[in-house]
Amino acid sequence: MVEHGHVVEVYFTRQAEKILMGRLLFKGRQVFFEYAADFLKTGLELSPFKLPLKSGVLTCDDYLFDGLFGVFNDSLPDGWGRLLLDRKLMKIGIHPDQLTPLNRLCYVGSRGMGALSYQPEIDNLKFTLHHDLDEIANECLQFQEHDDDQFVDDLLAMNGSSAGARPKALVTLLKQGFQPSNILSPSHEDWIIKFTSSIDPSDIGPIEYAYHLMAKAAGLDVPTARLFKSKKNRGYFGVKRFDHDGVNRFHMHTVSGLLHVDHRIPSLDYETLIKATMWLTKDMRECEKQFCHAVFNVLAHNRDDHAKNFSFLMDTHGDWHVSPAYDLTFSMGPGGEHCTTVMREGKQPGLTHLLKLAEVAGIEKANALVVIDQVRDAVSQWDQFASEANVTKKSSSLIQSALNRIKK
């Protein structure tokens, strides 16, 4: 492990060049960061709200992320990924409480999402090359339901820094099977594939795929996705990674990390999201994307719309864009409410709230109504998308009932 007082170097990958961004130090229960002199010359603002590009030693003024700036916290897994790492550490005799935030970054190393990597990298993971997804799914099941630690190395190696509670794997598709995503190659495709958790319905994969089809029809910018076949269930939902193109890695920043917003509790409003989008991108078209996303989440009953489920991508020139929409599925939300409110309404947002959101975003009412009608039309075809994705009749009916109750 990296001891207290030792330095962790942060690198930013820009096209094929790996640039030293700066150095992190953990001392006296506080995290310190200093930009590298050469990185300051690039003019790249990787986290303009909370970590401005300036010389000198910087410290975070809140402890939402254990003293880390949000841009670095975005590299860390939570939920499933954090559980895997903690269990791995306990297996080798290290209590998770002994880890500093910098230790956890070193376990991510170069395997994380986006364009940041960390050195020294701790890489003592073993993994087995899997020939089908059912093998990985079985390992997830044994780990969850039978407390079986023999698979923790495999699962951790394939998790990278993906977030969320559901088991997932970051894999490269090969002709003979899958392997953990670790080397960029234009000849291979990297995917995030999700598996069923112990509290999910058995057809959660088809449900999310049906929502992907519905979102695409609604006009949202969504990543390439597919339903991977299974011999044991109705399939596994997967999306092609959009944080790199096989050659270039793209800097990715969640709204949680960008604004230091806690994703574990409802603490964000779509008004704030759209205003941050305009400030960051200076592009009304990007704000319109966020509005379309908000409308879809409301009308499609996706209430798990927390701050980590919205992200931005920065290109090699330093320009920001809204990332493709992800983690779109039927969800109840905390207490039956949206994690992100619509003009302060979380329980029953409707047309009035959405139009008010469009107004504060500077979107003309006529244009907002066109977006709302397009999303409404897509959601009205739920049965068709559910059938195409092979959702069970029971799940399809339950979701349809919930959609019917939404204020239009």
Say whether pLDDT at 133 is over 80.
no
Say whether pLDDT at 174 is over 90.
no
169: number of Cβ within 10 Å: 27
Q: What angle do CA 197, 200, 202 make, to 5 degrees?
A: 100
Q: How many CA atoms lie within 13 A of 230 on its CB side?
A: 24
User: Percent of the chain having pLDDT more than 70?
Assistant: 83
Which of the four pLDDT bands, split at 50, 70 and 90, describes residue 218?
very high
Query: Do residues 223 and 230 make contact, with C-beta atoms less than 8 angstroms apart?
Result: no
Residue 169: predicted pLDDT: 80
Residue 8: predicted pLDDT: 97
Query: Do residues 349 and 296 make contact, with C-beta atoms less than 8 angstroms apart?
Result: no
Residue 172: predicted pLDDT: 80
Which of the four pLDDT bands, split at 50, 70 and 90, describes residue 3?
low
Say whether pLDDT at 4 is over 60.
no
Residue 246: predicted pLDDT: 77
Say whether pLDDT at 231 is over 70.
yes
Three-state SS annotation for the chain: CCCCCCEEEEEEEECCEEEEEEEEEEECCEEEEEECHHHHCCCCCCCCCCCCCCCCEEECCCCCCCCCCHHHHCCCCCCHHHHHHHHHHHHCCCCHHHCCHHHHHHHHCCCCCCCEEEECCCCCCCCCCECCHHHHHHHHHHHHHHCCHHHHHHHHHHHCCCCCCCCEEEEEEECCEEEECCCCCCCCEEEEEECCCCCCCCCHHHHHHHHHHHHHHCCCCCCCEEEECCCCCCCEEEEECCCECCCCECEEEEHHHHHCCCCCCCCEEHHHHHHHHHHHHCCHHHHHHHHHHHHHHHHCCECCCCHHHCEEEECCCCCEEECCCCCCCCECCHHHCCCEEECCECCCCCHHHHHHHHHHHCCCHHHHHHHHHHHHHHHCCHHHHHHHCCCCHHHHHHHHHHHHCCCC
Total-model pTM: 0.91
Residue 381 burial (C-beta neighbours within 10 Å; 0-12, 13-18, 19+): middle
Mean pLDDT is highest, among 4-18, 126-140, 148-162, for: 4-18
pLDDT tens column, 46-77: 999 999 999 999 999 899 999 999 999 999 98
Residue found by looking up tokens 């709230």 in the block: 353
> Mean of the per-residue pLDDT values for the chain?
88
The whole-number average pLDDT for the span 216-232 is: 94
52: number of Cβ within 10 Å: 10
State how far the Cα of 244 lies from the Cα of 170, in Å rounded to an integer.
13
Q: Which amino acid is at 286?
A: E
Query: Do residues 49 and 258 make contact, with C-beta atoms less than 8 angstroms apart?
Result: yes
Residue 294: predicted pLDDT: 98
pLDDT tens column, 105-118: 998 888 888 999 99
Tell me the backbone φ, ψ of residue 330, rounded to 5 degrees.
-65, 130
Residue 177: predicted pLDDT: 61
Which of the four pLDDT bands, split at 50, 70 and 90, describes residue 128?
low
**Which among 380, 377, 378, 356 is positioned nearest to 368, based on CA atoms?**
356
pLDDT tens column, 313-347: 999 889 999 999 999 999 999 999 999 999 999 99
Going from N- to C-terminal start, the domains of the chain cover 7-119, 133-240, 251-404
The whole-number average pLDDT for the span 25-53 is: 95
Residue 6: predicted pLDDT: 80
Tell me the backbone φ, ψ of residue 19, rounded to 5 degrees.
-110, 135
Which of the four pLDDT bands, split at 50, 70 and 90, describes residue 186?
low
Residue 157: predicted pLDDT: 57
Strands 340-341 and 268-269: parallel
Say whether pLDDT at 141 is over 60.
yes
Residue 203: predicted pLDDT: 95
Residue 147: predicted pLDDT: 61
Residue found by looking up tokens 């799914």 in the block: 137
